[in-house]
Amino acid sequence: MSEIGTMRVKSGLAEMLKGGVIMDVTTAEQAKLAEEAGACAVMALERVPADIRAEGGVARMADPTKIREIQEAVTIPVMAKARIGHFAEAQILQALEVDYIDESEVLTPADEEHHIDKWQFTVPFVCGARNLGEALRRIAEGAAMIRTKGEAGTGDIVNAVRHMRAVYGGIRRLGSLREEELFAEAKNLGAPVELVKWVAENGKLPVVTFTAGGIATPADASLCMQLGADGVFVGSGIFKSSDPAVRAKAIVEATTHYQDPEVLARVSQGLGEAMASISTAGLDESQLLETRGW
C-alpha cells in the first residue's frame, strides 16, 4: 500500500538536506543564486530577518505570488515560513505545495498559546527550539525537523551556540539518567515521557536538527557543524553581505568540509564585508525573537 505524509516520508526529506545549507530568499533571482551556490533548499519569506528587525511591523507569510515565482525558478526544495499558530497560513502553503513549512518565531506570532497541530498536514514542518524541552514539544506536535533558534537577523552566533549546547547537552544528560528518573525529567522538560525515553535510549533527537540564527561566515557554519548540527540555515547572512554569490558558495563548502581547517581558511578569503551585525548582548528583551514560541 502506498502512503503519503507519513512521519518517515516527512522526516525523510530533512534527512536528504543534511550536510547542506538552507538559504533565506525573498525573490526568484535570489533563489537562483542560492541554487547556483549549492544550497540544498531555499526558504521563501517576504523580508529577511535583519530587515524585519530594522523595519518592525507585522511579519507574515510571504506573498503566494512570490512563492510561486521562486518555485518556478529552482528545482531544489522550496520552504516557506508561517507564523506561530497560524494554521490558515500553513494550509495555504500546503496548497501551494511548498516542500517544508517553517513555523517560525522570525514572523510575528499569531497565537500566544498554541502552536500549529502539525499532524493535520501532509507537508512536513520544521520548528525552532532553544532547548531540549522546546524541541520535544514541537516534535510531539508533529514537527519533522528541528532548528535551534539562535537570534535571527543579528549576525551574532552566540545565541545559536547557547541553544545547540542546551539541546545537545540536554540529550547527553538524559543518557546518564536511570530509567525511573526519566518520568520526573519528562515533567521538568514539559515533554511526553515516550519521547524522553526514546531520546535517552538513542542519544539523539528522532528528527534531523539544523542550526539557525546568526550565521554570517564560513567559520560560523563550521562551528555549528562541529557542535553537532546536521546542517545550517542562513538568513540575512548571505543577502545582507557585500557579495552574496561568493559568500553563499563559501558557506556551502564550509558546511561540507567543516572539519578541514585548510579548506575553511581558503574559502574564508576574499568574501568582502559580512552583514551589518548586532551584538545580541545589547538587545532589549522586547527585541529578542528567540523568546517567541514556548
Partner 1 sequence: MDEPLRIGVLAVQGNFREHVNVLRRLGVEASEVRKPHQLDGLDGLIIPGGESTAIGKLVRAYELEQAILGFEGAIFGTCAGMILLARDAVDGLPGQPLLGLIDIGVRRNAYGRQVHSFETDLELAGESRPLRAVFIRAPWIERVGAGVEVLAKHDHRPVLAREGRILVAAFHPELTDDTRVHELFCEVVREAASVRS
Q: Which positions are annotated as active-site residues?
A: 81
Site string for partner 1, 4-23 (x = CB under 8 A): xxx-xx--xx-xxxxxx---
Q: How far is the CB of 30 from partner 1 (least distance, A)?
A: 16
Applying CB under 8 A, among 28, 39, 216, 250 the residue interacting with partner 1 is 39
Interface region with partner 1, contact rule CB under 8 A, candidates 36-44, 53-61, 168-176, 232-240: 36-44
User: CA 256 → CA 8, 208, 218, 224, 249, distances in Å?
Assistant: 25, 16, 10, 12, 11
Q: How far is the CB of 203 from partner 1 (least distance, A)?
A: 13
The DSSP line for 95-108 is HTT-SEEEEETTSP
Map grid coordinates 515560513 to a residue.
Answer: 81
Binding to partner 1, residues 244-263 (CB under 8 A): 252-253, 255-257, 260
CA distance 117 to 172: 28
Other CB atoms within 10 Å distance of the CB of residue 72: 10
If residue 147 lies in a helix (H) or strand (E), which one and from where to where?
Answer: strand 145-148
Site string for partner 1, 222-241 (x = CB under 8 A): --------------------
Q: How far is the CB of 120 from partner 1 (least distance, A)?
A: 13
For 14, the grid coordinates are 530533512
Interface region with partner 1, contact rule CB under 8 A, candidates 60-68, 116-124, 168-176, 209-217: 116-124
Work out whether 117 is an interface residue with partner 1 (CB under 8 A).
Answer: no
CA distance 179 to 183: 8
Work out whether 41 is an interface residue with partner 1 (CB under 8 A).
Answer: yes
For 27, the grid coordinates are 525573490
Q: How far is the CB of 187 from partner 1 (least distance, A)?
A: 32
CA distance 245 to 243: 6
Site string for partner 1, 64-83 (x = CB under 8 A): -----------xxx------
Q: How far is the CB of 213 from partner 1 (least distance, A)?
A: 21
CA-wise closest residue to 101 among 158, 141, 136: 141
Applying CB under 8 A, among 1, 65, 179, 284 the residue interacting with partner 1 is 1
Work out whether 124 is an interface residue with partner 1 (CB under 8 A).
Answer: yes
Cβ–Cβ < 8 Å for 17, 40:
yes
In the complex with partner 1, the residue whose CB is nearer, 100 or 239, is 100
- Phi/psi at 180 (nearest 5 deg)? -75, -15
Task: Give the angle subtended at the CA of 50 by the CAs of 46 and 55, to the nearest 5°.
Answer: 75
The site for partner 1 (CB under 8 A) is made up of 1-6, 8-9, 12-13, 15-20, 35, 37-41, 75-77, 94, 97-100, 122-124, 252-253, 255-257, 260
